[in-house]
């Protein structure tokens, strides 16, 4: 899943907007996730500038804290180039390399987040004169999965290996999700079909070899003869649909 943020950021200038206008990020990434296989020398992601003016783009990886200062992060990857100028309607490839300065798990995947922060040209004093400008910066974040060699099964099969169980917890109905595989499983949606009605389950990424409880919205009692339907996300950002009886 791609996460895009718009926020004020110190001295970094961004798009000037008037009150009722909406702004969107101009930098578009070539994928919704990055899979870095251990045997690969590097992983790459393409950044395209769909806007009408050149942009500076800062790229880095974090461990999941989207508020972390990039200069303080200690991750075993380098991103080259860390800062690049991308002309309007042009692109730039970022190369990600595992440095090996931190050992990663060999029996399961590890997840990091790739960030692309776009820094548009500073608005000149003349252009800004007499205008009410809002200074914004746009950042896009996607997951990077580091995948060791020799893992059992495949990421495509992992969603079908999950087990699901409806149960009561603290007065609420939850779905207990168990992932016995060495792969992360991300979801677009999870729903329960019961009595001809659809109930949304709060989706969350399932970590390798873990269990967790997911809250069911609008359903407080354990259903009889219900079916759980999920829409997981593949390595390529596509959908993997499946269902299970509860």
Instruction: Note the CATH number of domain 158-245.
Output: 2.60.40.10
At residue 237, does pLDDT exceed 90?
A: yes
Domain 3-147 has CATH 2.60.40.10: yes
pLDDT in tens, 63-115: 999 999 998 999 999 999 999 999 999 999 999 999 998 999 999 999 999 99
Instruction: Dihedral sign for Cα 26, 31, 35, 39, please.
Output: negative
Half-sphere exposure of 245 (CA within 13 A, CB side): 2
Q: How far is the C-alpha of 151 from the C-alpha of 147, rounded, in Å? A: 8
Please state, as a whole number, how many other Cβ atoms lie within 10 Å of the Cβ of residue 192: 23
Residue-averaged pLDDT of the chain:
89
pTM here? 0.86
At residue 17, does pLDDT exceed 50?
A: no
pLDDT in tens, 180-217: 999 999 999 999 999 899 999 999 999 999 999 999 99
Q: Do domains 3-147 and 158-245 have the same CATH topology?
A: yes
Q: Which of 15-19, 114-118, 157-161 has the lowest mean pLDDT?
A: 15-19
| Extents of the domains making up the chain | 3-147, 158-245
Q: How far is the C-alpha of 138 from the C-alpha of 118, rounded, in Å? A: 6
State the alpha helices, DSSP H only, in the chain. 125-128, 158-161
């Amino acid at each position: 899943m791609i996460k895009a943020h718009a926020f004020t950021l110190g001295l970094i200038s961004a798009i000037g907007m008037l009150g009722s206008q909406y702004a969107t990020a101009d930098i578009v990434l070539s994928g919704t996730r990055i899979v870095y296989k251990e045997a690969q020398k590097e992983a790459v992601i393409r950044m395209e500038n769909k806007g009408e003016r050149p942009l500076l783009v800062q790229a880095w990886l974090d461990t999941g804290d989207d508020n972390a200062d990039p200069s303080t992060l200690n991750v075993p990857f380098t991103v080259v180039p860390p800062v690049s100028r991308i002309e309007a309607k042009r692109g730039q490839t970022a190369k990600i390399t595992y440095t090996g300065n931190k050992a990663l798990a060999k029996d399961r995947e590890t997840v990091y987040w790739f960030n692309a922060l776009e820094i548009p040209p500073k608005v000149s004093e003349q252009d800004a004169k007499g205008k009410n400008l809002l200074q914004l910066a746009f950042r896009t974040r996607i997951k990077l999965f580091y995948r060791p060699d020799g893992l059992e099964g495949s990421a495509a099969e992992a969603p079908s290996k999950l087990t699901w169980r409806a149960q009561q917890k603290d007065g609420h109905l939850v779905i207990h999700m168990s992932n016995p595989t060495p792969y992360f499983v991300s979801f677009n949606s999870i729903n329960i079909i019961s009595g001809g009605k659809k109930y949304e389950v709060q989706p969350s990424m399932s970590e390798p070899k873990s269990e967790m409880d997911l809250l069911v919205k609008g359903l407080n009692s354990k259903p009889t003869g219900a079916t759980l339907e999920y829409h997981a996300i593949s390595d390529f950002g596509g959908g993997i649909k499946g269902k299970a009886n509860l």
